Chains A and B, each alone.
Chain A
Amino acid sequence: MLDLINVAYDTQIPNNVGLSSDKRVLKALEKWHPGYINWWNDLGPDGFQESLVYLRTAVSVDPKGWAKFDYVKMPEYRWGILLAPQAEGRTIPCGEHVGQPAWQEVPGEYRNMLKRLIVIQGDTEPASVEQQRHLGKTAPSLYDMRNLFQVNVEEGRHLWAMVYLLQKYFGADGREEADDLLRRTSGSEEAPRMLGAFNEATPDWLSFFMFTYFTDRDGKMQLESLAQSGFDPLSRTCRFMLTEEAHHMFVGETGVGRVIQATCEAMKEAGIDDPYDIEKVRALGVIDLPTIQKKLNLHYSLSLDLFGSEVSTNAANAFNAGIKGRYQEAKIDDDHQLHSDTYPVIQLKDGKIVWEDVPALSAINMRLRDDYVRDASGGVKRWNATIEKTGVQFEMKMPHQGFYRHIGVFADANVDPDGAIISKEEWDAKKDEWLPTKADGDFIQSLMKPVWEPGKFASWIAPPRVGIDNKPGDFEYVKLHMA
C-alpha cells in the first residue's frame, strides 16, 4: 500500500505521491532534474556548494515531526515532492462550484487559469534564491548563514512542488512551462522573472530580512489562498509549503528584530538617546533606526504591489471558478460565492483617498492585501516592544498603503507615508527621508563583513535567543569548505 505520510526514497526524488509507480511523471521529473541541478549550481548560493550546512529535510508530512536535521551539501539536498495528506471528503470551498467534491484532476475549463497561477507562483520560488545568492559571503554569523541556506533550499523545494504539479497535470504544456521556470532569471535582461519585486536586487542582509518578512509574506498569503483551491493537489501542495514558509517568516521577523535590538542596545550603552543622531549611532557599527524604517517602507510598498490591482478580473475569475480562495476561506461566515456582497476598496477620486464599496468578487485582491496588512503588523508590534524595552524613543510604522506604489490606484499618485497626497515637487524633495538613499545603502554595505566564527555575530545584529534545533550558541551551523 502507498504510504502517503512518510517520504519514499525509492526514487531519486523523495516524495509522498507514489512517484515510483507513476512512470510518466517520474520520467518527466528525472528529465527536468539535471537542469535544476545546473540552475542551483549556477544561480544558487555563490561559493558554498561544497560546505556542509546543518539543514532540515522534510521526511514526512506529519505535523508532529516532519523534518530531520543533519549536515548536508546543498547540491545534494533531497528536494522532494510533498503534499499534505488528502482530507477525506474535501469539497470546493468557494465560487460557483462550492460544496461539490474537490477536483482530483484538472477541470478542463479551468486548465489555463490554473496553469497560469501555478506558473506565477512557481516563478517566484527560484527568483528569491537568485536574488540572495551573494549574501552567504557577508553573513553576520554561521547561524544566519544557515538560515539563509535553509530558506534557499526550501524555495528550491517549492519550485519542485510547482514543477511536479505542472508535469503531473498539464501534459506537454506543463513540461514546457517547467523548463521556462529555469530559463527566466531574476534581474535578467534576456528573460526576467515575471513579477517586479523578484527582479530587484537583495544587496544586503537587512534587505534579506525585510524581504523574508514582507515579500515572503506575500508568498505566504498567496499560498494561503491557493491552499483553499478546489483543485485538491494544489491545495495539498500549498498546505505543506506553508509549514516551511513559517520558518521564512521567522527568519525575517527575528532578523529585523535582532538588528533593531543591536542598535537600541548599542545606543543605550553609548548613552545616545536621540535615534535621529544618525552619525553617532552609525559610528557604533549598528544601523540607525530611521534607516531601518526606510528599508521597511521600501520593502513593504514593493510587497503590496505584488497583490496586483485592487479591483481585478483575474482574481474574480479564479475565486468564482473555485481555484483560488480567500485567506482562511473556511472560517469566513458568508455564502462563499459573493454574488451580491460588496467589499470596501480604497480609491483615488479627484485627488482624495476614499473608500468605495465594489462587488466583493472583483475585490478579492484588495481583501487579501488587507489580510496581509493585518498579518504583517504583528511583527512590527513586536519590534516596537523590543525598542520600548530598551527605553529608546522610537516607533517603527508601516507606511500608508498608497506610499511609493507602482501598481493599482496609487500608481500615478505621490503619497507620503502618512497617506497625504502631495505634489511631485514635494515628493522629490522629501523622498530621501522616506526611502533608502544610495548613501544609506553604502553605509549598510560597509557593515556587511562576514563573521564566520561559531557563536560570533556581527556588531549590527544581536544573537538569537535560542538556536536552531535547540543547538547551543556556539554550534557550527555551517562547516565551511572554501575552495
Chain B
Amino acid sequence: MSKRIDFQVDPENYRHWRVDYEGDVAKLYMDVDEKGGLFDGYELKLNSYDLGVDIELSDIVQRMRFEHPEVKAIVLQSGKERVFCAGANIRMLGGAAHSHKVNFCKFTNETRNTFEAAGQESGQHYICAVRGACAGGGYELALACDHIILADDGSSNVALPEVPLLAVLPGTGGLTRVTDKRKVRRDRADVFCSIEEGVKGKRAAEWNLVDEVVANSRFDETIAERAKEFAARSTRAAASEGVKLTPLKRTFNDNGVTYSTIEVDIEREKGLVTITIKGPDGDAPASIDAIAAEGADAWILRAARELDDAILHLRLNELELGTWVIRSQGDPAAVLAHEKVVTDNADHWLANEILLYWKRVLKRLDVTSRSLVALVEPGSCFAGVLAEVLFAVDRSYMAEGDFEGDNRHVAAITLSDNNFGRFPMANDLTRLQTRFLGEPGKVDEAKGRIGETLEAYDANELGLVTYCFDDIDWEDEVRIFLEERTSFSPDAMTGMEANLRFPGPETMETRIFGRLTAWQNWIFQRPNAVGENGALQRYGTGVRGDYDMRRV
C-alpha cells in the first residue's frame, strides 16, 4: 500500500454519493461506483464500500454541517435498485493488511459517530430509508441514524450476517448499537446476529431493529413526512449562509507535511513524528460574524481542519511512526482571544459547529493508536482548546523557567472554561475529570485557576503535566524517554494506552471503540477468519472457512 490515502476530497468529484438539497431537507444517495475502489483487486458491487467510499461520506457529513447550515434533516437512501448497501467490501477486507482493516474500521466508526451525534448536537437529523437488502455495514450505517424506515415489500431486510457468513463481527458499532441504542432484547439480538438473511417486514419493527415498516406505495410519502417532522423538531439555530470548506493548503514532502497552522516533521529512523500547532497571528476577529466572513480561513476552524487531516494522514499512511510528539508555538493570549469569540457565541450555528468540530478532533486524538506525547516548551501556546491536547496525550513534559539563549516566553499553560465541559471524551467525562478520577477535588482546584498563566511549578502542583524539567535536564530527559518509548512493542503500547486512556464509566461509544473493536481486532488476527483457510480468505471461493473448533 504505497499510495498515499488522501482524506481531502473535492465535492464536485464524488464517485459514490449524491446529495440533493431541498430547503431544510437533504437527500443523500449512496450509489457506489463499482469500479471506484481505492485499491485494485476488488469491485464495489451492490453498494459495498471501502475506505474511499467512507472518506466521501465523512466529507459530506462535515460539509453538511458547515456549508449547509439550513439543513435539518438528511434522508440516507440507496441510489441503486433492490439493494440498500451490502456493507464493507469483503474482498477488500480479505486482501487488506491487518493494520488497514483496523484503521478502516476506526475511521468508519468515527464517521458513524459523527452523523449519529449530529441530530442531538447540532439539529441535523439523519433518517435512513431502507429499500432492498441492507446487510452488515449497510445496517450499521442505518443504526447510526436517528430513525430507520424499512420498506415492507416482502424482500427488503436488515441483516448482520458477519458471524455466519464471514466469521467476523459486525464491528462498526453493529453489535453495540443493536443492544445499547436500539435495546433489542439480547436473545433476539443473538438470533438476529446469527442469521445470514436477517429480518424483514413487521418483525423488524417488532424487534425494534427498525423504527417503522411501511408499504412500498407509502415509502416516499413516509420519508417526506418523517423528514419534515425531524426538521420541525430540530433545535438548529437559524442560519442563512454556510461557510465553504475550501481546499486545505498543504505540501507533502519526504520529511513531513506543511499546513498553514500545523507542521508535521518526520524522523523516520527514530519512529517519531513531531506535530507543531501554530497559534493565530494577529488580532482575534471582532465578532462571530467576522469569523463567518473569514470562513474556512478563520484560525480556529482552519487549525481544527488541518490537525484533523494531519491525524488521519499519519494514522493511515505512516504506520511506523509510532510516537507522536505534539508541540505548540504562539501567543497563548491570542489563542484564548480567538477561542473566546466562538465560546461567547456558542448558540450561533457556526460557533457551535466549530466547537463541536474541535470536540471531534480531540476525540480522534483520544482513539489514535500511537504513543502521544506533549512537550510544553518556551514559546508554546497550550491555552484553552489547545491545552485540552495536553489532557489527551499519554504523557506531557513541561519546560521549567527560562532557557538559556531562548527569548521566547516561558512555558506556561492557560485553562479556559472550555476545559471543563465543552469537550467531553467518549466516556462522557471531561479529560480533566477523567484524569482526576480518584481526586475529583483537583478538577475544582484547576477550575479556580482559569485564565491564569500557569508556569511549570503551578502546572505540576495542579497535576496538569507529567514531568517538569529545567534547561539543564530537559533535552536529555525528553530524548531518553522518547528512545525508551519507541523501543517498546507497538502492540503492547497500543493495548496499554487504549486501556489507560479511558478510565471511568462506559458509554456506547467507549464500548464500540473498546469492547467491540478489541474483539473484532482479535478475530481479525485469528486463523478462523484470516488464516489461509479462514472464512474471510475463502469468501467468494465457495469453500467454507475451516475452523479450529477449540474455544479460547
Which residue numbers of A lie inside 8 Å of B, CB to CB? 96, 112-113, 115-116, 180, 183-184, 188-192, 194, 313, 315-321, 338-339, 359, 361-362, 364
Contacts and interface: CB of A to CB of B under 8 A. Distances in A.
B258 to A, nearest CB: 40
B154 A191 contact: yes
B197 A313 contact: no
Given A116-B197, A190-B216, A362 B542 contact: yes
Contacts of B215: 190
Contact of B155 (A115, A191, A316, A318): A191
A183 B154 contact: yes
Contact of B542 (A112, A180, A191, A316): A316
Contacts of A321: 544
Interface in B162-216: 164, 195-197, 215-216
B539 interface: yes
B153 A96 contact: no
A112 B164 contact: yes
Contact of B153 (A192, A315, A361, A364): A192
Given A112-B195, A112-B197, A116-B197, A320 B544 contact: yes
A contact face: mostly helix, strand, loop, or mixed: helix
A320 B153 contact: no
Interface in B510-552: 539-544
A159 to B, nearest CB: 15
Given A183-B154, A189-B216, A190-B216, A359 B195 contact: no
Given A112-B195, A191-B216, A320 B155 contact: no
A338 B542 CA distance: 10
A51 B215 CA distance: 36
Given A192-B153, A313-B539, A96 B197 contact: no
A362 B541 contact: yes
A313 B535 CA distance: 13
Given A116-B197, A191-B154, 10 more contacts: A188-B216, A190-B153, A190-B215, A191-B152, A313-B542, A315-B542, A316-B540, A319-B542, A321-B544, A338-B542
Contact of A359 (B154, B197, B539, B541): B541
B217 interface: yes
Contacts of B543: 96, 316, 320, 339, 361
Given A116-B197, A190-B215, A361 B154 contact: no
Contacts of A361: 541-543
A184 B154 contact: yes
Nearest to A337: B543
Interface in B31-59: none
Most chain A CB within a 10 A radius of its CB, from B152, B196, B539, B543: B543
A407 to B, nearest CB: 11
A113 B164 CA distance: 11
B187 to A, nearest CB: 16
A92 to B, nearest CB: 15
Nearest to A183: B154
A209 B216 CA distance: 32
Most chain B CB within a 10 A radius of its CB, from A184, A190, A192, A364: A190
A191 B155 CA distance: 8
B36 to A, nearest CB: 13
Contacts of A313: 539-540, 542
A482 B155 CA distance: 38
Most chain A CB within a 10 A radius of its CB, from B154, B155, B543: B154
Most chain A CB within a 10 A radius of its CB, from B155, B217, B542, B544: B542
A183 B217 CA distance: 14
